[in-house]
Amino acid sequence: MDEFAFELLLCAALEGGAPSRIISRQLGASTRGRRIVDILTVTPGPEFDARTAVTPHTIPTEAIAADVGPGRFRYWKDCFDCHPERARTAMERAVGIGFFERERRSGRTYVRQTVRYPDWFGTLRAIENKPDLDRPGDLSRQLRTDVSLGVCDEVILATRSHVTGAHLNRIPEEVGVWQFDPETGAREVIRTPQRLSTGSGIEPLERRSSHTDIDVVSAEEIARLRRRLAERAYGKGWRVEFPSCPHVENREAQRASSDKISGVDGIPYCTRQQRIVRPADACDCSSSPAAVDLAAIRDRHSPWVRNPPGTATTQSRLDRFRKGR
């Protein structure tokens, strides 16, 4: 089994075992480097319901950071501190998903937030997948980056391999370790993760023969990255689009427990190739694929809300259909 299949099955097991958490995968988790987190879990915070009411999509970071607010309308160009094109893209996106509402005055666009941005997420947990520890690759370096940067509250290594003391000695002691069987969904905690400090951090950059370049990341930057990660996780989820192939079925992950909770589905399995497949792994055939509503599946299995009531005013909703808006 490859890492892609292992990753999807672990996501399914996590969502089935903790349906109150947001599960996502393949998210950028660095400020200047290229660190990608395999899986991210997000624990809901005190105002989670307020977040689900706004939009099912990711709210742009630039829109959240903009000096807009839910009070009076403001000229949009005065609210952003970033490149003008990025600002315009974020403004249009925020309006489109219902986080901003706008009105026109003398040919100028004014915006305001439809709601105060809520304190909606709690603990962030990063999970690095390495099914085969005999082929570790850059595992130690990746985990040390996660620990030293401290964007997530906890870091976990998930593997299918038997974990020895030698394996544990090669990774930072702060990192927790899970042994996960993707065939059954069984998960054993080999080592519990330590809680990390999410204040300022150190991000390793380019590694040279004699030294490693580093960058000190401020607490404010860490906070912005945490918010960006949580928002991206909420909008993206973990499922992938099904290949355009009639042989791909919607499979349900196995559960290790004997409770009455149904398994979690939304996993693309090709009966012809006999494996879990990516969107680009379609067979060479001309038949039409079966329709799979991934949004409905996610809505059924997780706290994410597919069709929230929204927070824009009635006037704002009508305003978008007016000529010139």
Binned average pLDDT, 10 residues per bin, the chain of 325 residues: 93 89 95 88 97 97 95 95 95 97 94 97 97 86 92 97 93 96 93 92 76 85 95 97 88 68 83 90 72 93 94 56 42
pLDDT of residue 324: 42
Burial 117-140 (b: 16+ CB within 10 A, else e): bbebbeebbbbbbbbebeebeebe
What pLDDT shows up at residue 209? Answer: 64
> For residue 296, what are the CA distances in angstroms to 233, 304, 312?
17, 10, 23
From edge to edge, which strands make up the β-sheet containing 248-252? 248-252, 265-270, 275-276
What pLDDT score does 257 carry? 57
Provide the pLDDT for residue 280.
Answer: 86
Fold of 3-48+119-236: Trna Endonuclease; Chain: A, domain 1 (3.40.1350)
Cα-flanking dihedrals φ and ψ of residue 298, to 5°? -65, -40
Using an 8 Å Cβ cutoff, are 292 and 264 in contact? no
- The two structure tokens encoding residue 22: 């947001």
Predicted confidence at residue 108, as pLDDT, reads 95
- Taking the domains of the chain in order of start, what are their residue ranges? 3-48+119-236, 248-292
The closest of 175, 172, 209, 208 to 189, measured between CA atoms, is 175
